[in-house]
């Protein structure tokens, strides 16, 4: 088994895709107006409209209700990224990058649906 993606269900696919494209610099691949993916070397962030939920099981997922999952992106320099994002985004949860007890430098923001997004840089000793 291999973990390959996480999917966010949203009421506004275009808005969420625009946010993640701007925040990550990754261009989305659109399958339909109801579904797009941002693919990186290690994982995929899929974004689907509420209309796609019925294809799985009606009412099994609802947009903008997540309060337990953090979407994470490893970046080369989180401090530099913070400088770049500061002009475009305002919903910074921790204000500026913070060093975690395990050594990662971390920046938390909220996407337009309120999902937590963590951009982090590992300490040099732990980088792959």
Task: Write out pLDDT tens, residues 44-87.
Answer: 999 999 999 999 898 899 999 998 999 999 999 999 999 999 98
Contact 43, 89 (CB under 8 A): no
Residue 27 has pLDDT above 90, yes or no: yes
Contact between 47 and 26 (Cβ < 8 Å): no
pLDDT value of residue 52: 94
Yes or no: say if 73 and 118 are a contact pair by the CB < 8 Å rule: yes
User: Looking at the whole model, is its pTM more than 0.85?
Assistant: yes
- CATH number of domain containing 39: 3.30.720.120
Alpha-carbon distances, residue 34 vs 17, 63, 68, 92, 120 (angstroms): 11, 13, 24, 28, 29
Exposed, middle or buried: residue 97 (CB in 10 Å: 0-12, 13-18, 19+)? buried
Residue 125, pLDDT > 90, answer no
Average pLDDT over residues 122-126: 86
pLDDT at 128 over 90: no
* Arithmetic mean of pLDDT, 8-34: 97
Structure confidence at residue 126 (pLDDT): 76
Contact criterion met (CB below 8 Å) for 97 and 107? yes
CA distance 71 to 93: 14
Residues 11 and 48 in one domain: yes
Q: Could you tell me if 13 and 43 lie in one domain?
A: yes
Residues 3 and 42 in one domain: yes
Residues 81 and 30 reside in one and the same domain? no
**Residue ranges making up the domain that contains 26:** 1-57
Count of structural domains within the chain: 2
């Amino acid at each position: 088994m291999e973990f390959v993606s996480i999917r966010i269900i949203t009421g506004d696919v275009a808005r969420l895709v625009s946010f993640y494209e701007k925040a990550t610099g990754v261009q989305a691949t659109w399958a339909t107006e109801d579904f797009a993916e941002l693919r990186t070397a290690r994982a995929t962030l899929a974004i689907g409209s509420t209309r796609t939920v019925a294809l799985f099981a009606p009412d099994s997922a609802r947009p903008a209700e997540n309060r337990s999952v953090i979407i994470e992106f490893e970046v080369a320099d989180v401090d530099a990224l913070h400088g770049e994002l500061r002009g475009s985004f305002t919903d910074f949860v921790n204000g500026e990058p913070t060093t975690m007890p395990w050594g990662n430098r971390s920046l938390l923001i909220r996407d337009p649906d309120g999902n937590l997004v963590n951009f982090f840089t590992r300490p040099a000793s732990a980088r792959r």
